[in-house]
Amino acid sequence: MLDREQVYDALLKRLRAVSALDEEDVAAIRSIPVAVKNYRANQPIVSDGQRPTECCLLVDGFCFRSKTTSGGLSQILSIHVPGEMPDLQSLYLHVMDHDLLALTDCVLGFISHAALRDLIRARVGVTEALWRDTLIDAAMFREWIVNIGQRPALNRLAHTIVEMRERLKIIGRVKDAQFEMPLTQEQIGDAMGITPVHVSRTIKQLRQENVADLYRGRVTILNEAKLEELADFDVRCLHNKPGL
């Protein structure tokens, strides 16, 4: 029972970070049925080609979206943190065009498409919040493309670190310039389009220049100003409400 409340809290926190919701919107969200499930690290949540009948909300842990080429190479498209709905698009794009996997062990709340459609029809405030959330998702993809397409490896990694920090900061998961970024170097390579060997070299460079350290899925920022300069991260792409 407590788990269900966590689902609503995570969703409301996320939506309120970007949109205003009135009391009736909140009540409507809290009355929606959810099924809480636990996933193990690396377990697929939704796969390419499937036709999901529900959307999931990440409550705890990390998951990621990826796409695999016919040659078997995989590209990580995005990393998701608690409060996000990584497969919200399946509500209107019925066939999955990529995979969603658990990055760490995680807790997910599943909401049926039918219930979401009812909610959207009943509450314009919720509709607008989800629409906004989807547009923010697209804005982050634009940042991701620019990062991978145009920056050298050092800046690429710095950018990804700052992006994760900014998003984790919103949900209160950055403490003492440290936060979780639980990717292996191979996964970082798949996310940034470089080989794992070069990921290792790049982390070594950040470490040696006292900019940041990345060890066993945990980032420690050593020189915030220098990291941000390398990252060239536009916080506006998060479209977060000021002061939150």
Partner DNA sequence: TCATTAACTGAGG
Partner DNA sequence: CCTCAGTTAATGA
Q: Among residues 195 and 220, whose Cβ is nearest to DNA?
A: 195
Q: What angle do CA 128, 241, 131 make, to 5 degrees?
A: 20
Distance, CA of 99 to CA of 77 (rounded, Å): 10
Q: Among residues 149 and 243, whose Cβ is nearest to DNA?
A: 149
At closest approach, how far in Å is the CB of 151 from DNA?
7
At closest approach, how far in Å is the CB of 209 from DNA?
12
**Which string of x and - marks every residue 110-149 that binds DNA (by CB under 7 A)?**
----------------------------------------
At closest approach, how far in Å is the CB of 234 from DNA?
20
| Contact flag: residue 215 with DNA (CB under 7 A) | yes
| Contact flag: residue 29 with DNA (CB under 7 A) | no
Q: Among residues 125 and 182, whose Cβ is nearest to DNA?
A: 182
At closest approach, how far in Å is the CB of 43 from DNA?
14
At closest approach, how far in Å is the CB of 238 from DNA?
25
Which residue from 32, 76, 136, 153 is in contact with DNA, where contact means CB under 7 A? 153
At closest approach, how far in Å is the CB of 71 from DNA?
12
How many Å from the N-terminal Cα to the C-terminal Cα in the chain? 29
Q: Identify the bridge partners of residue 219 per DSSP, sorted by sequence position.
A: 179, 214
Q: Which residues, including other chains, have CB under 8 Å from residue 5's CB and lie 6 or more apart?
A: none
| Contact flag: residue 101 with DNA (CB under 7 A) | no
Distance, CA of 121 to CA of 160 (rounded, Å): 37
Contact 161, 227 (CB under 8 A): yes
Distance, CA of 240 to CA of 15 (rounded, Å): 10
Q: Burial of 17 by CB count in 10 Å (0-12 exposed, 13-18 middle, 19+ buried)?
A: middle
- Counted residue by residue, the chain has a size of 244
Task: Give me the DSSP letters along 84-101.
Answer: --TTGGGGTS-S-SSEEE
Binders of DNA among residues 174 to 213 (CB under 7 A) are: 184-186, 193-198, 200-204
| Contact flag: residue 226 with DNA (CB under 7 A) | no
Task: Give me the DSSP letters along 127-181.
Answer: HHHHHHHHHHHHHHHHHHHHHHHHS-HHHHHHHHHHHHHHHHHHTT--BTTEEE-
Task: Count residues binding DNA (CB under 7 A).
Answer: 20
**Which string of x and - marks every residue 156-175 that binds DNA (by CB under 7 A)?**
x-------------------
Point out which residues bind DNA (CB under 7 A): 152-154, 156, 184-186, 193-198, 200-204, 215-216
